[in-house]
C-alpha cells in the first residue's frame, strides 16, 4: 500500500470517528435525552459536523485523492484499495461542494425540527412542525444549488441515498409496478377478509420485547456487538462493526408491530455487523445504499418473519407466552392475520401489498416540494387527498397522516423511494437464495437461519460500500433492480392466502 493511501486513510479514519461520535449523540437524542437538551445537542452536532466537513474537504485530502486516482487508474475493480479510492473520491467531490457553515446550520435546524416533530406528532398538530419543515426545505434547496444542474433537482438528493440512481430511473420502475399492485389489491378486496381481532388484544410489552430479542438472536443479530432500545420512531445505527444498535417502539393499539419492528431493524443491523472488519473507519463501512439496506430489513421482517415456515417453528412458543390472546387461534389463522391486506394510515405498519403505495405517495410529494409546486401549509390536505386516491382511506388526524414519519425533520428528503426499491431487491435476492439453498423453507421451519445469514454475508454484507448498488444487485442476481420478482412474490403469497 502506498504512503499516500496510508496518509489518506489516517485522515479519513479521524473523519469517520467524528461521524461515529455524532451518531452516538443522535442515538442518545432519540433514546435517552431529556426534551430540554435539544438546543445544546444541536450545537454539539453542529460542531462535530463542521469539524468533520473541514477535515474531509481540506486541500490536502483533495491532493491525496487526485494523486491516488492516477495511481490506481486501471486497477482491478475488485481491489479493496481501488474501491476505497473510488468511494473516497466520490464522497470528496460531493462534500467539497458543501460549505462547513452549511453543515453546522443544517445540524442546528434539523435538531430543532426533530424536537418540534416529536411535539407536533404528540399533539397531532402540523402547525407546530410547519415553520421548521419550511426551514428544512429551504436548506434542502440550498444544498441542491451547490451541485451542477441535474436532469431533475431531485436527482441530487436521491444520489445521496442511492448512488447512481436518477429520478427517472425510479419512476420507470414504479410506473409499471403501480397498476400491477392496484390490480392485485382490487382482486383481494373482492374476497372475504381474514379475521385478525386477536392481534389487537392487550399484549404485555415486556414479553413481546423479550420474544423479539430471542427472534433477533435466532436470526443471528449479535447482542455482544449490539443492543435494543425504545424510541419514538424505530431505527438502526452503527458506531462501528462491533457496536451496531437497534431500536423499537410499543404501540398499545398495534402491539405486534413491536415484534416486526425488531425483526426489521435486526435485518439492517446484521448487514452492518457482517461488513468486512477491515473496512472499519473507512468510506467502505456500511451498506452500499439504502435500497440494498432495506432489502435486508424487509427480507427478515417479511419474507422470513411473516412466512409460514417461520411460524411453524415459533408459533407454539409464542402461543404459550400469550395463551389467552391466542386461545383457539390456529397456526393458519395466525399466519393469515399477520399477512392481512387492508389499506391503513401508517406506513411502518402497512402490509406488503399496500406498503409501496405509501412510498409512491411520499415520492410524489417530495418531488413536488423540491420543484416548488407545493406550499408546506397545504401538505396535510394534499397528504390526505393522496391517501384517499391511492389507498381509499383518509387519516383522521395529522399524527396518523403527514406527521407519521420522522425523516423530513432531519432533512432526509430523497430517502423514501429506497424503501420500495428495497422491497424489490429483497424479492430478487430471495429468488436467487432459494435456488442456491433449495431446502431453505425446511431450515426456517426448524428455526435454523445459519445458511441464510451465511449466504447474505458472502454475497452482500461483507462488501459494505465496495460496489455501487446496481452493480452489486447485477453481480448477485444477474439483473439490475426490477419489479418482476416482487410482483411474482406478492401474487403467489396472496393468491394462497385469499384464494385468488
Q: Is-contact 328 469, C-beta < 8 A?
A: no
Q: Which CATH class is domain 167-498?
A: mainly alpha
Return the domain boundaries, the chain. 3-146, 167-498
Write down the pLDDT at residue 1. Answer: 58
CA dist 258 and 263 (Å) reads 9
DSSP 194: P
Write down the pLDDT at residue 75. Answer: 85
Write down the pLDDT at residue 352. Answer: 93
Q: Is 352 a catalytic residue?
A: no
Q: Which of 265, 294, 301, 366 is catalytic?
A: 265
Could you tell me the pTM of the whole model? 0.89
Contacts of 424 (CB under 8 A, 6+ apart): 173, 177, 291, 295, 481, 482, 483, 485, 486
Write down the pLDDT at residue 35. Answer: 86
By the 10 Å C-beta count (0-12 exposed, 13-18 middle, 19+ buried), 347 is classed as middle
Long-range contacts (CB closer than 8 Å, 24 or more residues apart) made by 244-248: 244/269, 244/272, 244/273, 245/27, 245/269, 246/216, 246/221, 247/30, 247/31, 248/209, 248/212
Q: Is-contact 407 275, C-beta < 8 A?
A: no
Write down the pLDDT at residue 164. Answer: 87
Write down the pLDDT at residue 77. Answer: 79
Write down the pLDDT at residue 84. Answer: 95
Question: Can you give the pLDDT of all 500 residues of the chain as single tens digits?
Answer: 589 999 999 999 999 999 999 999 999 998 999 989 988 998 999 899 989 999 999 999 999 999 999 999 888 878 999 999 999 999 999 999 999 889 889 989 998 999 999 999 999 999 999 999 999 999 999 999 999 999 999 999 999 999 889 999 999 999 889 899 989 999 999 999 999 999 999 999 999 999 999 999 999 999 999 999 999 889 999 999 999 999 999 999 999 999 999 999 999 999 999 999 999 999 999 999 999 999 999 999 999 999 999 999 999 999 999 999 999 999 999 999 999 999 999 898 889 999 999 999 999 999 999 999 999 999 999 999 999 988 989 999 999 999 999 999 989 999 899 999 999 999 999 999 999 999 999 999 999 999 999 999 999 999 999 999 999 999 999 999 999 999 999 999 999 999 98
Write down the pLDDT at residue 103. Answer: 87
Amino acid at each position: 500500500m502506498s504512503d499516500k493511501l496510508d496518509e489518506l486513510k489516517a485522515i479519513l479514519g479521524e473523519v469517520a470517528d467524528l461521524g461515529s461520535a455524532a451518531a452516538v449523540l443522535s442515538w442518545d437524542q432519540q433514546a435517552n435525552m431529556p426534551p430540554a437538551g435539544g438546543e445544546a445537542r444541536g450545537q454539539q452536532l453542529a460542531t462535530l459536523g463542521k469539524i468533520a466537513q473541514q477535515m474531509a474537504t481540506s486541500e490536502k485530502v483533495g491532493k491525496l485523492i487526485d494523486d491516488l486516482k492516477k495511481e490506481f487508474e486501471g486497477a482491478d475493480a475488485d481491489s479493496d484499495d481501488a474501491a476505497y479510492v473510488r468511494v473516497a473520491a466520490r464522497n470528496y467531490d460531493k462534500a467539497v461542494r458543501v460549505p462547513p457553515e452549511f453543515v453546522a446550520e443544517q445540524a442546528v435546524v434539523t435538531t430543532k425540527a426533530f424536537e418540534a416533530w416529536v411535539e407536533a406528532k404528540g399533539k397531532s398538530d402540523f402547525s407546530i412542525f410547519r415553520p421548521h419543515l419550511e426551514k428544512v426545505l429551504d436548506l434542502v434547496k440550498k444544498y441542491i444549488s451547490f451541485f451542477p444542474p441535474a436532469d431533475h433537482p431531485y436527482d441530487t438528493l436521491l444520489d445521496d441515498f442511492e448512488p447512481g440512481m436518477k429520478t427517472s430511473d425510479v419512476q420507470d420502475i414504479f410506473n409499471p409496478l403501480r397498476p400491477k399492485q392496484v390490480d392485485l389489491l382490487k382482486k383481494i378486496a373482492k374476497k372475504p377478509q381474514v379475521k385478525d381481532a386477536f392481534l389487537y388484544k392487550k399484549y404485555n410489552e415486556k414479553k413481546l420485547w423479550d420474544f423479539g430479542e430471542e427472534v433477533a438472536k435466532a436470526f443471528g443479530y449479535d447482542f455482544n456487538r449490539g443492543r435494543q432500545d425504545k424510541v419514538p420512531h424505530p431505527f438502526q445505527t452503527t458506531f462501528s462493526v462491533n457496536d451496531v444498535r437497534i431500536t423499537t417502539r410499543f404501540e398499545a393499539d398495534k402491539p405486534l408491530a413491536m415484534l416486526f419492528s425488531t425483526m426489521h431493524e435486526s435485518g439492517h443491523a446484521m448487514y452492518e455487523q457482517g461488513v468486512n472488519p477491515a473496512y472499519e473507519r473507512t468510506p467502505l463501512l456500511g451498506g452500499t445504499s439504502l435500497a440494498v439496506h432495506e432489502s435486508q430489513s424487509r427480507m427478515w421482517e417479511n419474507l422470513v418473519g411473516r412466512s409460514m415456515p417461520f411460524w411453524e417453528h415459533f408459533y407454539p412458543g409464542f402461543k404459550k407466552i400469550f395463551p389467552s390472546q391466542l386461545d383457539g387461534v390456529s397456526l393458519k389463522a395466525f399466519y393469515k392475520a399477520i399477512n392481512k391486506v387492508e389499506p391503513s394510515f401508517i406506513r411502518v405498519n402497512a402490509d406488503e401489498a399496500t406498503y409501496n403505495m405509501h412510498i409512491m405517495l411520499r415520492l410524489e410529494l417530495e418531488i413536488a416540494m423540491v420543484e416548488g409546486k407545493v406550499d408546506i401549509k397545504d401538505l396535510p390536505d394534499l397528504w390526505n387527498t393522496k391517501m384517499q386516491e391511492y389507498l381509499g382511506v383518509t387519516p383522521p388526524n395529522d399524527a396518523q397522516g403527514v406527521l407519521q414519519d420522522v425523516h423530513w425533520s432531519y432533512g432526509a428528503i430523497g430517502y423514501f423511494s429506497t424503501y420500495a426499491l428495497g422491497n424489490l431487491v429483497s424479492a430478487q435476492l430471495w429468488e436467487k437464495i432459494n435456488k442456491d439453498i433449495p431446502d431453505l423453507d425446511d431450515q426456517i421451519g426448524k428455526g435454523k437461519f445459519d445458511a441464510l445469514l451465511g449466504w447474505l454475508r458472502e454475497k452482500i454484507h461483507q462488501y459494505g460500500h465496495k460496489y455501487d448498488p446496481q452493480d452489486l444487485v447485477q453481480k448477485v442476481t444477474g439483473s439490475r433492480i426490477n419489479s418482476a420478482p416482487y410482483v411474482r412474490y406478492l401474487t403467489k403469497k396472496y393468491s394462497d392466502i385469499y384464494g385468488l
